[in-house]
Structure 1
């Protein structure tokens, strides 16, 4: 990834692009990269910061050059020789200052037409004045890939090999394990993690993988946009029903193997689950990550839009870079319609939502790393049409209210989780009371409502133990039934909305559940039509 970045920068510099905007928080690493580029292109490096002014070969040229306009005047003379000017943290000086913007623009025009030099802005925030938009080309400095991370770890540990009281394990297996744990972090962050492990354990070994992972979660969380989700002790078997979706996902898992790549199979793009709230969409995302043994990153689109003007675009770019850096990975965008609610109406945000949506769509279409996008949505009418077209996701599934077979499975899973034997309960009766035979056509309890009924029944049973005659009482079928009957089903409270959603799914989404046995005997029972899952009739 870094090699591709370097090649692209060299092409742009040779093509006389006047200003490159490098979006990164890794200032020192960016300087090292451009020093290498400068040497390759026979151009000297001149840096500028607000504290030191212009610096050449490690020496400050003139302290007056800390003034940006004075620095630009001096830079005009320096630009007559082949030079790469690295401007650090320039964005605050260009924010709202028409004189600074105009002066910098004129300098860029002169270097493009008359001098063999280029300007490189290096900043952790993406803020470009409209006057400079046609002068600037934006590039993202990629986070270190696996090979570069290994080099960083070796360089760091080399300095401590042989020191008294310090044990450093530099075996290939340990370097590999540490590097895989550290992928997705910047160079300074990796070195900080290693330093912490060194101080804590007086050495570095394979046992420090957990330390790096914990630090990594903290670093990711600081972004406020991404969150590492723990998937320990989860698997697809903990999802009640949705067998059609599970089969589809298991097929896609094999697509990440080297054998699949040689066969010509491309990495899966992702899947969208649309459906009724409380029916297991979010649990699916966590369980898939556990089954595929991939890190799960939750992308909060709502937080992407937070902060000052310009930070939203920077937030989404940083988040997507992180997702690719830790690949193969799964990116979970929960209730995606809420994050994209402002798309198409630029009246209140200056078009920020539309630009971010465009960035997300382009990334989903063109990403080159094995990142699987797992999106969930409850209100399909709020989603932009561009997101739903073929090519963004491999498939769109509809998660309907659970069928009788699925409710039976859900009940057994949760009873076992409560360390109760399902055989002690009248499962058939619980399935009946949680379905349309009890509540009426189109109304069934969701998986979340069934789970809540079990916990409510457990509380009721425990409360009854205060009676001396029932001090050994345990939860039974009646406790759960009573809790179910006290429930106000979501399918009843939002009946019209769910009916519209199901009508849409019949034509545009594959059902996540397998079709019920279609024999005439069970088509109608006691005057109630067989409960089925809605969606396109495709079984995997």
Structure 2
């Protein structure tokens, strides 16, 4: 909460720190400024605010918990006559008789790592020099300068001179303490559940979510549901991630991996923790595209009952200079939510360029994985493990590596029945409509198809059978006849598709071979009735 951040700021001031950097999100700005102004009034200290937007100084005053801004004419008179530099505020604060705390908002872009533009570079160097001189000149004066912004990134030459405070996301306990101030009386009984639904948001975001959700006679459960939906949308917009509650899905095959997931669930118990047992640092899923790596992450979420954050690791490269800032905030979010699964999709694509940015992001990930204390399970998927830095794949980072291969005969049977049950009621509740010989014919025809391709084959066949049932445009029928998918429709759909493992046989086989060397199998040896078994080539 901002109250805690305010305490940290004044602790640094008491230690005679004249320059302090504070990273705080924009939505929390009003609350932070109000808290700072209140504390200054309590200590009889003047508090001023300068913003880049209007180049004016305002004194912050709180009347009945409402923040007011009073223009400081002394600066306006000087600044009006001295416009040779836009950051005249730095000269003014160094020599003025005014004392107290000056908050500079919007100055961080000039304090980061060097820019290639000459004008920007010269301005940046001037500002850094002016800040250091400000610190030295006012060392014995009752003046403190606070640099405020949403991204407090400081270059290496000035970072040692400026202690940095970062406003953290509120904890469940802090949210629970705050919620009674904004919740209707009817929802007070489920404060803890509402707090859990709110974890991962700042207080201002929680305010907005509750205000949008509250309606006459809304129940606490409905409020939780709407607040969760608001959070999911917010996380998608702010962090570019997908946040999923544990899904209800069925998985075909990959039994060894599923057994590992069930074992992880036991490691979450207090009994396992009493023996100092923990979840793996990370799990790496490797294999050709479409074999079910993303689906496996959702299956793990279901098995463990933990929410799932899906992140395309390669997307961070598009942020450029902001990539490290974005990643740092994401790690803070994951740590705060705590019991969660972080799934890094297409992990290898983030390292395809092998440039400095990729190496820095990898370093941040390694440091976080090594030092974090939160109960977060990291799952990453990769098609080309050779693109990953070797230090990422050693034990202690990704403790378990699973090879997710092309499905065998028995697994393809399971995958087919799962997809067929979506359209054909004959396959509900373990039902079947094909003979053993028909299944063997279908499974042989789809020998190198992955799960995603099997799903597409079933859907194409379902469309074909539907069009045969209703050859003309029929708007409605009095009684809906069942849709029965025929074997011939499935075989025809297969013939219209050229699987990836056949189109790109060399690449896929290379991926499979490397995955075999690096990972443990995620599927047992096929023991189903559809298995080809051991073939004796000597007859």
What TM-score results when the alignment is normalised by the length of structure 2?
Answer: 0.79
The aligned residue for residue 478 of structure 2 is none
Deviates more, 1:288-297 or 1:86-95: 86-95
The change in CA–CA distance for 1:430 and 1:24 in structure 2 (over 3 A counts) is: farther
Equivalent position to 2:500, from 490, 496, 506: 490
The aligned residue for residue 196 of structure 1 is 212
- Is residue 2:247 matched to residue 1:241? no
Question: Which consecutive unaligned segments of at least 5 residues does structure 1 have?
Answer: 158-166, 346-350, 530-540
The alignment partner of 2:286 has SS state of strand
* Kept after mapping to 2: 8 A contact 1:269/1:373: yes
Task: Tell me the CA shift for residue 316 of structure 1.
Answer: 1.8
The change in CA–CA distance for 1:279 and 1:27 in structure 2 (over 3 A counts) is: same
Deviates more, 1:137-146 or 1:202-211: 202-211
- Is residue 2:220 matched to residue 1:205? yes
Question: Which consecutive unaligned segments of at least 5 residues does structure 2 have?
Answer: 63-69, 473-480
Q: CA RMSD, aligned part only?
A: 3.8
The aligned residue for residue 76 of structure 1 is 94
The aligned residue for residue 382 of structure 1 is 387
Structure 2 CA distance for aligned equivalents of residues 29 and 204 of structure 1: 29
What TM-score results when the alignment is normalised by the length of structure 1?
Answer: 0.79
The aligned residue for residue 331 of structure 1 is 342
Task: Tell me the CA shift for residue 401 of structure 1.
Answer: 0.8
The aligned residue for residue 105 of structure 2 is 88
1:481-535 Cα distance to aligned partner (Å, 9 max, x none): 33234432222222222222222223321111123459xx975237599xxxxxx
* Kept after mapping to 2: 8 A contact 1:177/1:209: yes
* Kept after mapping to 2: 8 A contact 1:464/1:473: no
Task: Tell me the CA shift for residue 397 of structure 1.
Answer: 0.8
* Kept after mapping to 2: 8 A contact 1:46/1:85: yes
- Is residue 2:265 matched to residue 1:253? yes
The alignment partner of 1:277 has SS state of coil
The change in CA–CA distance for 1:378 and 1:74 in structure 2 (over 3 A counts) is: same
Structure 1 CA distance for aligned equivalents of residues 339 and 3 of structure 2: 20
* Kept after mapping to 1: 8 A contact 2:314/2:346: no
Task: Tell me the CA shift for residue 149 of structure 1.
Answer: 1.0
Within-5 A mapping of 1:294-443: 294-307=306-319, 310-342=321-353, 344-345=354-355, 351-418=356-423, 419-421=425-427, 422-426=431-435, 429-431=438-440, 433-435=442-444
Deviates more, 1:57-66 or 1:402-411: 57-66
Equivalent position to 1:185, from 201, 224, 246: 201
The aligned residue for residue 278 of structure 1 is 290
1:274-328 Cα distance to aligned partner (Å, 9 max, x none): 1121111111122222332322222233443335x53222222222222223221
* Kept after mapping to 1: 8 A contact 2:465/2:483: yes
Structure 1 CA distance for aligned equivalents of residues 279 and 37 of structure 2: 35
1:169-195 Cα distance to aligned partner (Å, 9 max, x none): 254x41111111111111111111222
Equivalent position to 1:502, from 496, 512, 516: 512
Structure 1 CA distance for aligned equivalents of residues 245 and 107 of structure 2: 38
Task: Tell me the CA shift for residue 245 of structure 1.
Answer: 0.7
Q: Number of paired residues?
A: 498
The change in CA–CA distance for 1:377 and 1:30 in structure 2 (over 3 A counts) is: farther
